[in-house]
A and B are shown apart, each in its own frame.
Chain A
């Protein structure tokens, strides 16, 4: 398996993308912003197409669009914590712009039809070049370091916004920086593995980590571990059974980990689990 260059590239880039997604995802889930990640992955699609239409560097378009998208969501949302409705509205408009650019792109260049869109949406982890891998590694390390640098105040601001603000933590600025960081990771992940993988890697490993522990740094580590682990499992499965697409297998592994975490917490303390279910019915 390691003899093939494309497989080595996929494993290296995938590991680093997974690491970044796992770390950022922990905060995304903590702040209940998975929908923002979902929207940003579509912003990435539009940004890439816009750059293609304007004849600019696709990578630059991708990053500019997602980081800008993150900042706009932060500004429109309350307390830099973009809400459901704002994200939904921005999201719909982004899709509309995406259609526009897709139309212009396909009429401009009849040879490069809709497959470009599919590539951006679902990624091609087995088709990465050495440059792609290097970019992925550098950006993942950068994003991870930036996140860990603001981890403490961000954690405080996410858990109790009012108290953090009273203590002088710049809650709004932190929220904006975090959304911009999420944009950076979205662009990187979209470029390397597709928008589809991004959402799964943001939500599922972090969701599992949150179920298993309430301790923040352990949770961050677990989330990163689950995320990288899902990438390895998915890539191996896809290598062994070539008909199965790698991105689907990676998501299946990540969701599998999440379901396992739900099941073990339910089994560890069944009375609490059923009590909560009953409370859901009655309370």
Chain B
């Protein structure tokens, strides 16, 4: 961390003292708000993302985060508050996705259905935007977010939403884990698998919708997928995996925010690059380790 800071400082020609730079990070309220918001989103993304990756619902998760866009566009067209559009559309989307997943057709039919749903959502969003005229400027910020313009009130809203989402997942954690790992056995044991699946998608959709309003859909998606995928590569144990996923998400968010502060490039770039780099590193080292094991076994067999 310290070396990265020093590098960042060289970038700006600030100082050679990492402690002074660290102090400067907390000097401005907007930076404190961004760090708080980033921490909240990272914890939420780490926990919910771990289950999303376990359930192989990355495509569904991305579709849900896209559905927020037509929701917002429809609400501004109808003159309703934005939140109504966000929550209404995300609820409907979760319902549709749960129906697709629940009908237990083949993997290919599910993939086609989710893709069609997402394309329809985007098409509707674009239709609403062009009927409404000229909110296209908001599109970039809706997609990519403005992490550095967060107010104190928004941090409170984020905290409430994230706490509710994490609490819901924590309450249902054991049956959800059971249902995700082996749906058939769980159903036979009386676990309400379909209801859990729908509930999980609803929580995922609503939390993504609310947080992407504030930080942009990109960052939420990045924090949902990559740290969780890395954690799944490292350990199959649920408790340790979730802790690892949260830790990684926190680390990349803080480091990304700090790097973005000392350079002119956006937060999203740093956070996604850091987490993807970690993921690649773990993948490559695992592949190398398994190759070494295989060659070792072959050598033993030969001898």
Q: Which residues of A line the B interface, CB within 8 A?
A: 29-35, 37-38, 76, 83-93, 95-97, 99-100, 102-104, 107, 114-115, 117-118, 121-122, 196-197, 199-200, 202-204, 206-207, 210-211, 243-245, 247-248, 251-252, 254-255, 258, 276-277, 279-283
Contacts and interface: CB of A to CB of B under 8 A. Distances in A.
Determine the interface band of chain B, counting residues with CB < 8 A from chain A: 35 or more
B275 interface: yes
B279 interface: yes
For the complex of A and B, 6 pairs with smallest distance between CB atoms: A96-B272, A203-B115, A207-B112, A200-B119, A93-B276, A34-B115
B235 interface: no
What DSSP secondary structure best describes chain B's contact surface? helix
A97 B269 contact: yes
A99 B136 contact: no
A282 B194 CA distance: 10
Contacts of A204: 112, 115-116, 119
Given A210-B108, A283-B104, A92 B221 contact: yes
B271 interface: yes
Nearest to B278: A89
A95 B268 contact: yes
B109 interface: yes
Contacts of B33: none
Contact of A35 (B59, B131, B218, B272): B59
A248 B129 CA distance: 11
Interface string B218-240: 10011001100100100000000
Contacts of B272: 92-93, 95-97
B269 A99 contact: yes
A91 B62 contact: yes
Contact of B105 (A31, A196, A197, A276): A276
A100 B283 CA distance: 25
Contacts of A115: 136
A103 B146 CA distance: 12
A90 B226 CA distance: 9
Interface stretch (B34-42, B75-83, B87-95, B137-145): B137-145
A85 B53 contact: yes
B294 interface: no
Interface stretch (B17-25, B120-128, B161-169, B170-178): B120-128
A197 B279 CA distance: 31
A245 B59 contact: no
B56 interface: yes
Contacts of A35: 58-59, 62, 111, 114-115
Given A89-B276, A92-B222, A115-B136, A283 B119 contact: no
B144 A38 contact: no
What DSSP secondary structure best describes chain A's contact surface? helix
Contacts of A33: 111
Contact of B122 (A37, A206, A251, A283): A251
A13 to B, nearest CB: 19
A199 B121 CA distance: 11
A51 B42 CA distance: 32
B126 A207 contact: no
27 contacts: A29-B108, A32-B106, A32-B110, A35-B114, A38-B62, A84-B59, A86-B229, A88-B61, A88-B62, A93-B222, A96-B222, A96-B269, A97-B273, A99-B144, A200-B119, A203-B112, A203-B113, A203-B116, A204-B119, A207-B115, A210-B109, A243-B131, A248-B127, A248-B130, A255-B116, A255-B120, A283-B104
A277 B62 contact: no
B104 A279 contact: yes
A91 B221 CA distance: 9
B111 A96 contact: no
Given A35-B58, A85-B56, A96 B108 contact: no
B148 to A, nearest CB: 12
B108 A251 contact: no
B58 A84 contact: yes
B265 A100 contact: yes
Nearest to B140: A114
Contacts of B113: 203, 207
Contact of B109 (A31, A95, A200, A207): A207
A250 to B, nearest CB: 8
Given A34-B59, A85-B232, A93 B273 contact: yes
Contacts of B118: 38, 199, 203
Contact of A206 (B112, B120, B136, B275): B112
Contacts of B279: 89
B104 A276 contact: yes
B285 interface: no
Contacts of A200: 115-116, 119-120, 122-123
Nearest to B223: A92
B76 to A, nearest CB: 16
Contact of B225 (A85, A243, A279): A85
A220 B20 CA distance: 64
Contacts of B127: 244-245, 248
Contacts of B226: 88-89, 92-93
